[in-house]
Amino acid sequence: MKQTKAQLRQLGVQTLKNLAPSEKAEKERRIHQKLFSNSAFQNAQTIGITLANEIEVATEPVIHYAKQQHKKIVIPKTLPKRQMAFYELTAETVLERSSFGVLEPTNSPLFLPEQIDLLIVPGLIFTKSGYRIGFGGGYYDRYLQQYPNQTASLVFTEQLNDEWSPESFDQKIQQLFID
């Protein structure tokens, strides 16, 4: 019997929490190298990415490296009606913890979807073909409906699960960087 998205979310969180710190760090290093050597990343001038929580693939090294490469980084802020928008992350950006426990920008310039060259989308569970189950709420699926450029996700092999069927509103991610 297929599991519900809620059950798969719980499984995804537990799987990520069970990764040994040393193994997680080594997998992250390899995932980051795959991303950095990819043309979508290399050609992107503006990259949308989250500030990852402790169980996700770390995004701080991606942000640091991208800034060294003189790329703009934009991070999401949740809005009413399950919408979200991306704002530039600079040294002056003030971050505030949202009701979801995520740090969000409060004082930065807004970037429209078409101004973001590469969007790195978080998730808990992924199919090999690129569909994902996120943390719930559908924020990314709504955003991706009007996002015209490249998408990617950073994925541990432990997050791969093809034992579920995407729903009509689920948006496919173009590239998965997996280890």
pLDDT in tens, 51-95: 999 999 999 999 999 999 999 999 999 999 999 999 999 999 999
Scan for tokens 């060294």, then name that residue.
Answer: 68
pLDDT band at 99 (very low <50, low <70, confident <90, very high): confident
What is the dihedral angle through the alpha carbons of 141, 147, 148, 151, rounded to the nearest 10 degrees?
-60
pLDDT band at 1 (very low <50, low <70, confident <90, very high): low
**Model-wide pTM > 0.85:** yes
pLDDT in the model for residue 153? 98
The beta strands (E) that lie in the chain are given as 46-48, 72-79, 83-88, 95-97, 103-105, 110-111, 118-120, 125-126, 132-133, 150-155, 175-178
With a CB cutoff of 8 Å and minimum separation 6, the contacts of 12 are 124, 125, 133, 159, 161
**51 and 75 Cβ atoms separated by less than 8 Å:** yes
Q: Helix (H, G, I), strand (E, B), or coil: what is residue 165?
A: coil
Helix and strand numbers, DSSP H then E, in the chain: 5, 11
* pLDDT tops 90 at residue 2: no
- In the chain, pLDDT over 70 holds for what percent of residues? 99
Q: What's the mean pLDDT in 37-45?
A: 98
**159 and 127 Cβ atoms separated by less than 8 Å:** no
